[in-house]
Amino acid sequence: MIARIATYRNGPYLVRGDFVITDQDGETVELARRTVALCRCGKSRTRPFCDGTHKRIGFTAHGSPEGAPASVRSSDIVREDRRSRESP
């Protein structure tokens, strides 16, 4: 099974599948689960893992990868959908 990384709107990266997380020295970080949430807001006290702090600080981010072409950002898809509904 390949690893899959999902970006969550206003939240962490969720990593599922077969993967290994290492520290900067290449030492494997032991994981209790096959699915982990990695902090994207930078404020977790358990980095690299998400501890839910993003909710408390009001972190905002797209649900699609940062730097992705505008045409694939979920917010743009929603905007496009609204425009098509507003058109006669």
Query: Where on the chain is the footprint of ligand FES (CB under 6 A)?
Result: 11-12, 39-41, 43-44, 50-54
The smaller minimum CB distance to ligand FES, of residues 15 and 54, is found at 54
DSSP letter assigned to residue 46? T
Kindly provide the b/e burial profile for residues 24-46, where b requires at least 16 CB atoms within 10 angstroms of the residue's own CB.
Answer: eeeeeeeeeeeebbebbbeebee
d(CA 74, CA 6): 13
CB of 40 to ligand FES, least distance (A): 4
CB of 59 to ligand FES, least distance (A): 6
Q: How far is the CB of 66 from ligand FES (least distance, A)?
A: 13
Residue type, 15: V
Minimum CB distance to ligand FES smaller for 47 or for 82: 47
